[in-house]
């Protein structure tokens, strides 16, 4: 009985502390950082730009909404990311809060030399999410990218993150890459990381002005542009367009895209849009050396047929399938050669060699990128058209009659 009484007294004493918010943060005391831009510093090592949301202006059109700009950008400098963030408090009246940060933009100059000096700060801070998207700013500073205003999305970072998902789903030349993905590529001995490139297109200075939001046609806009290839944590070059799509295809991340083939002497006469695609990468050994086999199974539909053609004829469909297979294979082979020239295994072939033969991998891993540059790669594609759209005979057939 005494023991229960003592336990009850202890509980009563603990109750007041359990109901208290010892680490509470008032919203009016926080500056929500939506994006971070990191450039080479002039005096210190880094110039860091913080895109901070103005909640009242983001909710414009609703009760209490303002009419000002949705974001404010503050810039500070430091030899480390931590120092730059602390220095920013001289200019901002609120505490920087990173739990809602959706984007980290790094300039090309930083990516070529000092990117690894930033990663630990992003990976270690418990308030910062490692699911935050990372991109490289091409042809302009990271500050310009995080300062740019956009029409459809009030918050520019939302435009970038949504656009990357959209282009991955529809075009297949980019894919979502977050901080955690990049760290995984850095620490892997059999795979190098990639990041998406982003550009401010058009008149760059117009992207920073509020007047651009009042026009139906903007003079400047943000655009996903290529894949950044890394080696040993440093930017080594870019892979673009069809070769970029080949990277996404090999990594089994393609959800849909478009494949154009010639027909009856007309270039790009037929477009096939994949609806399902699966890539399998395996390793076999020949004379003690690894050989990579890439097999792609693809199913799609005819999205355009700008020529006279009978899509009800099975032989015609079979011929289109062969042309599509040839085109996909051409793009994949071109992509592999482009990566081999840069001596950067962005596909993770080394990881598969490691799993297939751990003993051989011990001999190869130290100079794996050199081996990767000369490795034999075989590509096999099986493509099938499952739908022809709502017209089996294009109007071109009627015109020719």
Radius of gyration of the chain (CA): 26
- 36 and 175 housed in the same domain: yes
pLDDT value at residue 5: 64
Mean pLDDT in consecutive groups of 10 residues from the start of the chain, 401 residues = 66 61 65 93 93 75 57 92 92 88 95 93 89 93 88 82 88 92 92 93 65 66 90 94 94 93 93 94 94 96 90 92 96 96 96 95 93 96 89 72 55
Q: Are residues 66 and 206 in the same domain?
A: yes
pLDDT for residue 66? 52
Element (H, E) at 224: strand 220-231
The confidence score (pLDDT) of residue 21 equals 59
How many CA within 13 A on the CB side of residue 291? 9
User: Are 392 and 282 in the same domain?
Assistant: yes
- Among residues 239, 265, 294, the one where a domain terminates is 239
Among candidate residues 216, 239, 262, the one where a domain is terminated: 239
In a domain, residue 21? The reply is: no
- Reading the block at residue 36, the tokens are 């971070």
- Helices 314-341 and 241-250 cross at an angle (nearest 10°) of 100
Residue whose token pair is 């080594």: 236
pLDDT score at 125: 87
Q: Tell me which DSSP letter residue 154 carries.
A: S
Which secondary-structure segment (H or E) carries 245?
Answer: helix 241-250
What 8-state DSSP symbol labels residue 69? -
Q: Domain limits at 142?
A: 27-239
In a domain, residue 8? The reply is: no
Number of domains comprising the chain:
2
For residue 173, is it within any domain? yes
Question: Same domain for 163 and 302?
Answer: no
Neighbours of 114 (CB within 10 A): 17
Do 182 and 34 share a structural domain? yes
Would you state the pLDDT for residue 127? 87
Put residue 371 in one of left, alpha, beta given phi > 0 → left and psi -120 to 50 → alpha: alpha
Contact (Cβ atoms closer than 8 angstroms) between residue 147 and residue 266: no
């Amino acid at each position: 009985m005494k023991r229960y009484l003592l336990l009850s007294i202890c509980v009563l004493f603990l109750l007041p502390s359990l109901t208290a918010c010892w680490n509470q943060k008032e919203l009016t005391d926080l500056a929500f950082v939506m994006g971070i831009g990191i450039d080479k510093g002039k005096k210190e090592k880094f110039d860091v730009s913080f895109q901070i949301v103005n909640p009242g202006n983001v909710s414009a059109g609703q009760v209490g909404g303002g009419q000002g700009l949705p974001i404010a950008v503050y810039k500070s400098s430091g030899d480390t990311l931590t120092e730059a963030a602390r220095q920013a408090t001289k200019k901002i009246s609120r505490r920087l809060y990173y739990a809602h940060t959706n984007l980290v933009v790094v300039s090309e100059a930083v990516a070529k030399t000092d990117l690894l000096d930033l990663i630990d700060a992003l990976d270690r801070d418990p308030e910062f999410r490692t699911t935050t998207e990372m991109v490289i700013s091409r042809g302009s500073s990271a500050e310009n990218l995080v300062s740019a205003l956009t029409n459809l999305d009030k918050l520019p970072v939302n435009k970038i993150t949504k656009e990357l998902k959209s282009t991955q789903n529809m075009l297949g030349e980019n894919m979502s890459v977050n901080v955690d993905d990049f760290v995984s590529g850095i620490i892997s001995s059999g795979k190098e990381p990639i990041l998406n490139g982003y550009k401010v297109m058009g008149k760059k200075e117009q992207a920073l002005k509020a007047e651009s939001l009042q026009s139906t046609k903007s003079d400047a806009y943000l655009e996903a542009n290529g894949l950044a290839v890394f080696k040993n944590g440093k930017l080594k070059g870019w892979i673009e367009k069809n070769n970029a799509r080949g990277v996404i295809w090999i990594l089994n991340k393609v959800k849909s895209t478009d494949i154009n083939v010639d027909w009856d002497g007309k270039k790009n006469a037929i477009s096939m849009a994949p609806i399902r695609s699966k890539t399998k990468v395996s390793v076999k050994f020949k004379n003690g050396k690894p050989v990579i086999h890439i097999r792609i199974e693809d199913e799609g539909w005819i999205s355009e047929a700008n020529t006279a053609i009978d899509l009800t004829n099975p032989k015609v469909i079979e011929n289109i399938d062969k042309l599509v297979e040839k085109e996909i294979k051409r793009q994949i082979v071109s992509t592999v050669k482009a990566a081999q020239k840069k001596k950067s295994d962005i596909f993770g072939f080394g990881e598969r060699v490691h799993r297939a033969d751990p003993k051989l991998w011990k001999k190869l891993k130290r100079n794996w990128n050199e081996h990767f540059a000369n490795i034999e790669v075989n590509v096999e594609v099986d493509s099938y058209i499952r739908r022809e759209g709502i017209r089996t005979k294009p109007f071109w057939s009627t015109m020719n009659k």
